[in-house]
Amino acid sequence: MCDVDMLVGLYVDDIEIAPDQRGSEHLRRNFADAMTRFDATAHLIANHLIRFDGDGRAEGIVYCAPQYAVASQWVIAQLIYHDWYERRQGRWLFRRPRVSGFWFVCDQRGPPLGVLKVRWPDSPASMGTMHTRTAPIAGLFDSTGTKLIDSVLRRGPYAS
């Protein structure tokens, strides 16, 4: 069971969901609606990279390997989140809705082979968007892939 109020508490209270949807109440309804699609979910979060922009703002990316119980199927996936954060009253919160792109989604019994890797139950198969949606994230890295990592290490607890 998901604690939607706790989840909403991770976001700024004036978050803009859509041009005509702003605030925690709209976010709460969106999360509650999303949760009705699944019987159960589990999300493994990995490789979280954050660049601190100063003035209590940050931007980051994180990979996610979720699993979903959908009707009679166990669905596995791989996606990436692009996050924006803001520090308010000493707490880091999400300041924008998370942007994600799936690499694949499939029943665990059918590996994501071929071009059409996104295969939600009872939906037409489609191409994943993880790699195309991450193009703006490329600005977080230099040609060696270390721009963001170096920035975090220089400002973080491992700074020399």
Q: How many CB atoms lie within 10 A of CB 134?
A: 17
Q: What is the mean pLDDT of each run of 10 residues along the chain (160 residues)?
A: 88 92 93 87 90 89 91 90 92 87 89 88 86 56 48 41
The predicted structure's pLDDT at residue 146: 46
Domains of the chain, residue spans: 1-36, 38-155
Residue with tokens 């909403």: 8
Instruction: Give the pLDDT of residue 128.
Output: 84
Measured between alpha carbons, how far is residue 137 from residues 18, 37, 131, 149, 159 in Å? 22, 29, 10, 13, 24
Task: Output the pTM of the full model.
Answer: 0.74
pLDDT of amino acid 48: 87
The pLDDT of residue 142: 52
How much is the pLDDT for 2?
A: 75
pLDDT of residue 157: 41
Q: Which fold has domain 38-155?
A: Nuclear Transport Factor 2; Chain: A, (3.10.450)
